[in-house]
Amino acid sequence: MILSISGVVLLAIIVFLFFKKDGLKASHAIVCALFGFYLAGTAIAPSITAGGASLAGLLGGIKF
């Protein structure tokens, strides 16, 4: 649950930065959000979740 909440916050920050700096239109952001919402209800959602968890584990294992 913590991973999904932090992922949502990170993606929200990225969308905000795109909106402010790169000219992302509000309509594009709404379409992307709706796409993600409907994609979460499909059969591919567990694969996307597993891929996100795998990527988070990979990034979490990087030592500086």
Kindly give the confidence (pLDDT) of every residue in the chain, 64 residues in length, as a single tens digit, with 9 standing for 90 and above: 455 667 777 777 888 888 888 787 888 888 788 888 888 888 888 888 888 889 888 888 888 8
Residue 32: alpha-carbon gap to chain centroid: 10
13, 14, 8, 12: which is closest to 52 by C-alpha?
8
pTM: 0.58
